[in-house]
Structure 1
Amino acid sequence: MVKDKLSQTVMILLCISAIIGVTVYSKDDTETLQYFPLDQTYQFLSADTLLTLLQETSNDQYRISWQTNSELDEPVYLRQDVSLLYMDGVLKGINGVWKEDVEDLTLTKDFEESDSSHFQAITLHHGEIHYPDDEIKSIQTMSNDYLYVIDSPHTPLESFRQPKNKFQRDWKQTIDHATQQQLQYTWKRWIEEAEIDINRYQLVPLVEIVNFQSEAIPGLGQEATDRIMGQLWEGLYRNYILPVSSSPEQLHQPMPLILMEKQNDHLIVLFQNEEKELERLYQVYSN
């Protein structure tokens, strides 16, 4: 009975958060993110995304810090980082910056929220290197972080990444179940509308593509995987990130779903645009 009440409470709170979530967005400009052949002579010294529960504030809210940091071994023509934040499977905010002739970038945004939730952030760290004769190469890596925040009127405010006791395990299970139920319903509707045979595809939620940073797509090498990920981010930036971020009030879209064709021919990205209509991106695995 207690667990049923907990599940019902979380489901209601998730629905409310999806509607009235605080918009978090910071961007200096709308510079295009473009993939070029990867440059193996440069490397990232560090690349991190960090979500931190800071403090409880007034009006039954709490403050969270959303940070990204990245540093190259030397300055390049253009540095660009873009980070996406999801709250219970729904887009909470976009944070991005680009600068010329620098090696490091730092982004920090604090925001207030209420209620128990699961926050997930994924970041692309990107650099553009220009050589003589108009030769352009790029460098990229991804990072991510996630955080569960338990805001219950009966217990102190707390956060965790991995549950350490039964109380945290129960809350994690309840939040995950409610979030997955909503996302699975949305993704199923998208797939049916797009008339896609899912038996041909591996289904990957957007925040999970960070796994391909260190694990190649099955049947492909890491070099090909890195190229596909770079081209994927270019498409996401142009067709998903920029249109939504140009109208911050249009946030709260469900997390995009990526369908990776099992024969390694192409991938499809399904997402909801700023008009709340289904969009499809089709990317062929070209060399």
Structure 2
Amino acid sequence: MRLLHIITALVTVIVLLFIINENNSSEIMKYFPIDEEIQFTEASTDLSLLQQVSNDEYQIRWIISSKMPEPVYLRQDISLLYMDGNLKGIKGLWKEEERDIHLQLDFEESDSSHFQAISYHHGEVHYPNDIIKSVQSMSHDNLYVIDSPYSPLEAFQEGTTDLQKNWQETLDHATNQQLQFRWKEWIDAQQIDTNGYDLIPLTSLYIYTKQPIDGLSQEETDRVIGQLWEGLYREYILPVSNIKKTSHQIIPIILIDKTRDHLIVLFNDENNELKLLRQNI
């Protein structure tokens, strides 16, 4: 039964990765001006603890879902999952003349960890006279899983009990220490003066779904975010989704110029080499 379970999980992963990479030669995520006439009726990401598989492993369910009131020319959803700051997986799907997208993956993991997922939901709407517009949203979820021999298996989004708060603090400290060290290496390598930038991890980008970047309007923010995901999809997501092992891909860091002239994204590419993506604001 255990072998069957593992095989099923592997097949699911292979299918999802194939969906991401299918038709790479023509697949792109393109930003167009935001469509004010239509929007998502639902856009969500959900992480949940399903069950304890054995004394050493538990099962996590990862769901990405988005709905629109009517089919549009092109629908694309992409989600990135990080475990303790390291890339765990990528799920994505694009469909033509589609309204809704639903993706689900169950996987097994062990040890206490913090899972973070961020998703970008996108629709491309075509009108007469070659007018093309975008519909977009972001969603996220996070889950702390405590797998300790001294207490029952449990999961939470935000610690409420003393035990949960202690575990959350411990996991956050270990992850942040690793990320800050690596981000500083990247920044130093590019000789960037961080005094001139606001820094935000990719996993926190969702805050700008309905909140403008300081100094910008919501309309300007939506354009910046849409163009940013276009670049991330082309330069980071698609190349990394082609590799078999992603243990060295930590959460990218975004540096937003304080004068709001440009932004920079630093990340490890598919060859585990530092890459810089620059975008004018």
Tell me the TM-score normalised to structure 2 length: 0.91
**Which runs of 5 or more structure 2 residues have no equivalent in the other structure?**
1-11
- Is this contact kept in 1: 2:88–2:246, CA < 8 A? no
Match in the other structure for 1:274:
270
Q: 2:257 aligns with which of 252, 255, 261?
A: 261
Residues 49-85 of structure 1 deviation map (CA, whole Å, 9 limit, x = unaligned): 0000000002510000000110011110011100000
Decide which of 46, 53, 56 is 1:50's aligned counterpart. 46
**Does 1:119 find its partner at 2:120?**
no
Q: C-alpha displacement at 1:250, in angstroms?
A: 3.6
Tell me the amino acid that sits aligned with residue 204 of structure 1. Answer: I
Q: State the SS of the aligned residue for 1:73.
A: coil
Q: Aligned to 1:248, what secondary structure does the other structure show?
A: coil
1:228 matched to which residue of 2? 224
2:66 partner SS: strand
Q: Does residue 148 of structure 2 align to residue 166 of structure 1?
A: no
Q: Give the C-alpha shift of residue 226 in structure 1.
A: 0.4
Q: Which runs of 5+ in 1 are unaligned?
A: 1-22
Give the share of equivalent positions with the same residue, in percent: 57
Aligned-partner Cα distance in 2 for 1:147–1:67: 13
- Equivalent residue number for residue 10 of structure 1: none
CA contact (8 A) 2:87 2:246 kept: no
Instruction: Supply the distance in 1 between the matched residues of 2:244 and 2:89 (Cα, whole angstroms).
Output: 8
Question: CA deviation digits over 1:5-38, x for unaligned, max 9?
Answer: xxxxxxxxxxxxxxxxxx9572412321111111
Check conservation: 1:36, 1:138, Cα contact below 8 A.
Answer: yes
Following superposition, the deviation at residue 154 of structure 1 comes to 1.2
Residue 168 of structure 2 corresponds to residue 187 of structure 1:
no
Q: 1:85-143: CA deviations, max 9, x gaps? A: 00011110000001111111000011100000000000000000112222211100000
2:65 is equivalent to residue 83 of structure 1: no
Q: Secondary structure at the match of 1:52?
A: strand
Q: Structure 1 263/47 Cα, relative in aligned 2: closer, same or farther at 3 Å?
A: same
SS at match of 1:156: coil
SS at match of 1:237: helix
User: Which amino acid in the other structure matches residue 269 of structure 2?
Assistant: N
Q: Answer yes or no: is the 8 Å Cα contact 2:45–2:140 preserved in 1.
A: yes
Aligned length: 263
> Could you tell me whether the CA contact under 8 Å between 1:205 and 1:256 is conserved in 2?
yes
Task: Give the match for residue 142 of structure 2.
Answer: 146
Is 1:204 matched up with 2:183? no
Equivalent-residue separation in structure 2 for 1:248 and 1:131 (angstroms): 40
Tell me whether 66-75 or 26-35 shows the greater mean CA deviation: 26-35
2:59 pairs with 1:63: yes
Amino acid at match of 2:161: N
Is the 1:124–1:140 Cα contact (8 Å) retained in structure 2?
yes
Runs of 4+ in 1 over 3 A off after TM superposition: none
Equivalent of 1:37, from 28, 33, 36?
A: 33
2:210 to 207, 210, 214: 214
Shift of 1:213: 0.7
Q: Distance in 2 between matches of 1:252 and 1:45?
A: 36
1: distance between equivalents of 2:38 and 2:247? 35
Shift of 1:251: 4.8
Taking the aligned partners of 1:247 and 1:275, their CA distance within structure 2 comes to 9
3-state SS of 2:42 partner: strand
